[in-house]
Amino acid sequence: MNQKPSVLGGAMIIAGTVIGAGMLANPTATAGIWFVGSLIVLLYTWFSMLSSGLMILEATTHYPPGANFDTIVKDLLGRGWSIITGLSVAFVLYLLTYAYIFTGGNLTAQALQAPLWVGQIVFALVFAGCVWWSTFWVDRGITILIGGMIMTFLWANGGLLLSAQPAVLFDTVGSGNGSYWIYLGTALPVCLASFGFHGNVSGLFDYFRGDAKKVARSLWLGTLVALVIYALWQFAVQGNLPRSQFGPVIAAQDNVAALLAALAQVAGSGLVRVLSLFSYMAIASSFLGVTLGLLDYLTDLFGFGTSRAGRSKAAALTFLPPLVACLLFPTGFVLAISYVGFAATVWTAFVPALLLYACRKKFGEGKGYRVYGGKWLMAWVFFFGLANVAAQVLSRADILPVFKG
């Protein structure tokens, strides 16, 4: 096999997994803390999520190729934590796959002028084929999609980036609600969901044939690409649309559509069409990254192996349940999507911190790859998880204030 994985390809897998269409909703979700606050929260979340991903990487280096969450968590934390982690991983990744098939299938059906179910099947088959074939083709597919996303992003937002006004960006012309940090709790979980890539760490370690340094560089580069794109999008939106005018956007049932409609008045109707193309590529790239992580996890869980037959079994288990669910209940995922944040916090914050502690206790210092920091970093990531859970619980209890414009 002459296909040599590159750090750029690995970084694109991470960036593609992270940057989903949900990015379009970020400026609305962070309107309460506005531009400076959103940048601080995005930086805090980026560092915490990158650190937890690198924790998983360090733990992975002590296990044979192909070992994923199930093997590592079961060995280091016991069967109880393995079950909890497995349920949270399956819940998040299956639900996201379900949602991506619906959304991507809907856009595909519109493009083909075909029924929804045809669009869903076409979307699932085309992109699932890349994941089934190999990680290499996911690498190449996501790299192409990321390139297209960057071009369409700059095409759509070039004017907005140039027309951003400092007075709007820093809310010096704002009127009405002058509070910012009281809305921090409602922004945290949204930012956490914007940096989910942890299901791909062990698979990348196998893809790079055990070269942990290349995986680490991929995580750094991929998440930094996402962070820059998020920051530019915040700049484009919150530099043109005043905070005091977000009320109608927040009140709308479809926040993203309302936001794009408001921006279209500033940048013209072409913005909506180009961002629709951006959204499609973002959905496709996230679908590739998320399902690759799910396929790798299921391969380890059921011991399917890496042969073509084993990969086919894992692919069937990865794609058929969400596809069937989507065909029978197209919008069924809406009922459970709000709980993704809770489940994701388990295996992107709590478990990585516990894994690293148990890993260093069992294997010692060692001479292999080590993530920066010691117990302070474990505490940082664990309390990052606690802060997100607290924010979600308090928001649901209507204790935390919600910005309404």
Q: Which residue has the higher pLDDT, 73 or 154?
A: 73
Residue 184 in domain: yes
Q: Which of the given ranges, 14-23, 234-243, 351-360, has the highest pLDDT on average?
A: 351-360
Q: Which residue has the higher pLDDT, 371 or 264?
A: 371
Task: Output the pLDDT for position 140.
Answer: 80
pTM equals 0.89
Residue 182 in domain: yes
The mean pLDDT of the chain is 87
Average pLDDT over residues 245-268: 76
C-alpha 282: how far from its chain's center?
11
Residue 153 in domain: yes
The total number of structural domains that make up the chain: 1
Residue 159 in domain: yes
Residue 115 in domain: yes
Q: Which residue has the higher pLDDT, 159 or 108?
A: 108
Average pLDDT over residues 306-317: 86
Average pLDDT over residues 272-297: 85
Residue 1 in domain: no
Average pLDDT over residues 338-355: 91
Q: Which residue has the higher pLDDT, 67 or 43?
A: 43
Please tell me the distance from the alpha carbon of residue 328 to that of residue 67, in angstroms, as a whole number: 34
Share of the chain above pLDDT 90, in %: 38
For residue 99, the enclosing domain spans: 7-397
Q: Using one digit for the tens of pLDDT, what is the confidence trace for 206-256?
A: 889 889 999 999 999 999 999 999 999 999 889 988 888 888 888 876 566
CATH of the domain at 328: 1.20.1740.10
Using a 10 angstrom Cβ sphere, with 0-12 exposed, 13-18 middle and 19 or more buried, the burial of residue 254 is exposed
Query: Do residues 35 and 238 make contact, with C-beta atoms less than 8 angstroms apart?
Result: yes
Residue 403 in domain: no
Residue 396: pLDDT band by 50, 70, 90 thresholds? confident
Q: Which residue has the higher pLDDT, 334 or 360?
A: 360
Confidence check: pLDDT of 47 > 90: yes
Residue 404 in domain: no
